[in-house]
Structure 1
Amino acid sequence: MESPAPAPPPQRLETWHVAIQWMALLVVSMLFAGALEIASLPAALLIGPMLAAIVAGTNGATVRVPPLGFAAGQAVVGCLIAGSISPAIFATFLDDWPLFTGVVLATLSASSFLGWFISRFKGLPGTTAVWGSAPGGATAMVLMAGAFGADQRLVAFMQYLRVIMVSIAAALIARLWVDTSGVEYAPAVWFPSIDWTAFGATVAIAVFGGYLGRLARLPSPYFLGAVILGSILHLGFGVPLQLPQWLLAISYVLIGWAIGLNFTSGILRHAVRALPQIVGSILALMAFCGGLAMLISYELGIDPLTAYLATSPGGLDSVAIIAAASNDVDLSFVMALQSARLLFVLAFGPSLARLVSRWVRD
C-alpha cells in the first residue's frame, strides 16, 4: 500500500497578485481593528492594521506602503500632537512646576533604567530598549525611534503592548473610585462638517511642516516638523486645527501597515523571546508610577485617581477618556502632567537613548 503523498507546502503571499495582497491586508486589518474596538482596547485603528501587516509580512507579503503615504501619516500625527497642547496645560504646569518636573524626571529615569536592564541582559539592542520603554505617546515614540537607529518594529511591539496593559489597568483601577458602568461615550463622528479654515490650516501645517523638517534635517522630519510648526501656529497665533476621524484613521492605518509589513519571521521570533523581559519591565514601570501617584496623593492631598491617571505611563488618549468619565478627577492636572512628560521625552529622548546605548556597550 502506497503511503499518501505529502501535503503541499502552504502558499506564501509573494505568489499572490499585488492587488489581492492589498485586498487581503485591508480585510484582515478591518477584522482585527473591529475586534479591538469591540473589546474597547485603545488605538484599535493603528494596532489592528499593524497586527494584520505583521501577519502578512511574516508570511512573505511583497506590498509596501509608499514613502509618501508613510510621510503623510507621520505629519498628520504631528498635527494631532500639536493640536492637543493647549495654553491651559501650561498654566497648570506653571502652578505646580516643581512637582511636575520631579515626577517627569523620575519616570524618565526609571524607564531609562529598565531599557538599560533589558539591553544589558541581551533582551533587545540598547537604543531599541530605551525607545520601547519611553513613557510618552506611543505613536510618537515609534516614529522618533526609527530616526535614531532603533528598530521601529520592536519599539512598536513594546510600546503598544504597554499601551494595552496600562489602559486596561487604568480602567480597572478607575472602577475602584468611579462607577463608570453608566457612562456612555459619545460615538465618534467619522465625517463631521468641515471647517475649511481649520482643516486647510491643518493640511498646510502637515505639508509645510514636513517640508521644513526635511529642510532642517530634523530626525523624523515629517512628524517633528509638523509638531513644531503646528505648536507655534496653534499656541502662538491661535490658528485652529481640525483633524476629522477619517483622516486620523487613514494615517493610523498607513503607519501601522508601514511598520508591520517590515516584520519578518526572525524579527517576530526575537520579539517573542524577549517577551518575559518586556512584560516584566512594563509591570515594573507601572508599579513605579503607581508609587509616585501614592506619594503625590499623600503629600499634596490630590485624590488617588487623579494622581494615578496623571502618572500612568502611556495611553494618553485612553487615560483622557477615563479621566473625563468622572467629575471628581482634575482633568487639567492629568493632561498637564501627561503632556509635560511627552514633551520631555521628545526633547530629551534621543540623548537618553544614546547615553544608555553607551552604557550597554561599556
Structure 2
Amino acid sequence: MGLLAVSAVLAIALSFARFPAALLLGPMLAAIAFGVGGARLLLPRPLFLAAQAIIGCLVAHSVTPEIARTIIDDGALMVAAVLVTVLAGVVVGLTLTRLQVLPGATAAWGSAPGGAAAMVAMSEAYGSDPRLVAFMQYVRVAAVVLTASLVARLLVDVSAEPASAVAQPFPLTSIVATLGIAALGTGMALVLRMPAGALVGPMLLGAALHATGIASVAVPGPLLDAAYAAIGWYVGLRFTRETLLTTLHALPGILVATGAIILLCGAWAYGLTFLLPIDFLTAFLATSPGGLDSVAIIAVGSKADVSFVLGVQTLRLFTVLLTGPILARWIARSAPDASA
C-alpha cells in the first residue's frame, strides 16, 4: 500500500510537470526507494509480461506501414546507429575490464546496450555474476528512462496538450480484440523463443492487423496506466539493499560507465540530425541504450517519430542478442591476467 501511495504521488507530480511517461517514471522512482530501503517486494513475472504485451499493443496502434518504409529508406543509417550504440557498450565494457573494476565477462554483459532481462539470463549461463550484470543493466535502464524523460520534457512544447492515441473512448469489440492480440502475440512469440517476445509479439501482430484494417487495436486508459506502473515497479524493485551492498565497490565505475554510454549515444544522436531529416528527440530516443518498452512509452507519449525510434531499437535488440555471447567472450579474453 505504501508503494502504491508513493507511486501515485510521484506520478501525479510528474504529470503536472508534463513529463512524458509520468506513470512509468513515478512508480519506478518509488520502487527504487522501496527496494533499496529494504522492502522485500517483487512484481510477479507474469504481470510484467502482461504489461509488456499491453505496451506492445499501444505501439501497434501507433505503428503504420511507414515503419517498413523507414527501414527501407534509411536502412544504412539505422544500421550505423545500431552499430555505434553497440560499439559504445563494447568500449565501456573493455574499459571496465582493463581497469579491473569488474570481471571481463560481467562487464561485457552488463554494458550490452539492450535486452536487460535477456542479458541477465544469458550472462548466468556463460558463467558471469548475474547480480552484477542485473545491477548494471537496470541502473542503465533507470538512467535512460530518467534522461530520455528529461530530454523529452525539455524539447516538447508543454503549452499545448499532447495528442494521445488512447484518449478517446473505444468500443468494447476493439478492447476485446486488443486483449486477444496481446495474448496470442505473446504466446506465439514465447513459443518461437523470440527476444522480448511479450513486447515484440503483440507489437508485430497488432501492427499487421491494425494497419491492414483486419482488427482495431485500442488500449483503454486505466489498462495502459496499470501497464506503465507495472513496468516501472519491475525495474525499480530490482534495486535491493543486498544488491547495492554487493556491488558497492563497483558502483562508481558502473555509474561512470552508464553516463559514458548515454553521452556517447547522445553525441551520435546529435550527429544523426545532420544526416537525416529527424529531430534530436527522435534521434536521442532511437539511440538510447536500452529499455525498448520504456523508450517506446516515452516515444509514443511525446512528439518523436515512433516508426524510426522503434525501428532502430528493435534492430539493436536483435543485434545485441545475436552478438552478445561473442563480444562477451572477446572482452573477457582481453582482461589482464590475474596470475601475472
Shared fold per TM-score greater than 0.5: yes
Separation in structure 2 between the aligned mates of residue 198 and residue 298 of structure 1, nearest angstrom: 41
What's 1:148 paired with? Answer: 122
Separation in structure 1 between the aligned mates of residue 321 and residue 182 of structure 2, nearest angstrom: 23
Deviation at 1:199, TM superposition (A): 1.8
Tell me, yes or no, if structure 1 residue 356 matches structure 2 residue 327. yes
Instruction: Map 1:92-103 onto structure 2 (within 5 A).
Output: 92-103=70-81
Q: Percent identity?
A: 28
The answer (yes or no) to whether the contact 1:129–1:155 under 8 Å persists in 2 is yes
Number of aligned residue pairs: give it: 314
Instruction: Map 1:196-235 onto structure 2 (within 5 A).
Output: 196-235=172-211
What's 2:50 paired with? Answer: 72
Tell me, yes or no, if structure 1 residue 339 matches structure 2 residue 314. no
The answer (yes or no) to whether the contact 1:142–1:152 under 8 Å persists in 2 is yes
The answer (yes or no) to whether the contact 2:35–2:239 under 8 Å persists in 1 is yes
Distance 1:269 1:81, change over 3 A: farther
Q: Deviations over 1:146-170 (max 9, x none)?
A: 5534654542221121232244346
Tell me, yes or no, if structure 1 residue 109 matches structure 2 residue 95. no
SS state at 2:122 partner: coil
Question: Which runs of 5 or more residues in structure 2 are unaligned?
Answer: 124-129, 289-294, 334-340
SS state at 1:207 partner: helix
Instruction: Map 1:76-95 onto structure 2 (within 5 A).
Output: 76-95=54-73
Instruction: Map 1:1-362 onto structure 2 (within 5 A).
Output: 23-118=1-96, 121-123=100-102, 125-126=106-107, 128-131=109-112, 133-134=113-114, 141-149=115-123, 151-152=133-134, 154-169=136-151, 172=154, 174=155, 180=157, 183-186=159-162, 192-235=168-211, 238-269=214-245, 274-293=250-269, 295-296=271-272, 298=274, 302=277, 306-312=278-284, 313-314=287-288, 315=295, 317-318=297-298, 324=303, 334-362=305-333
Deviation at 1:203, TM superposition (A): 0.4
- The TM-score, its normalising length taken from structure 1, stands at 0.71
Separation in structure 2 between the aligned mates of residue 259 and residue 290 of structure 1, nearest angstrom: 22
Q: Deviations over 1:46-95 (max 9, x none)?
A: 23223333333344434443443233222222323433432123223323
More RCO (CA 8 Å, sep 6+): 2
Pair member with larger Rg: 1
SS state at 2:330 partner: helix
- The TM-score, its normalising length taken from structure 2, stands at 0.74
Deviation at 1:107, TM superposition (A): 3.0
Deviation at 1:282, TM superposition (A): 4.7
Amino acid in structure 1 at the alignment position of 2:12: G
Question: Which runs of 5 or more residues in structure 1 are unaligned?
Answer: 1-22, 135-140, 325-330
Q: Deviations over 1:17-49 (max 9, x none)?
A: xxxxxx122112212323333444443322322
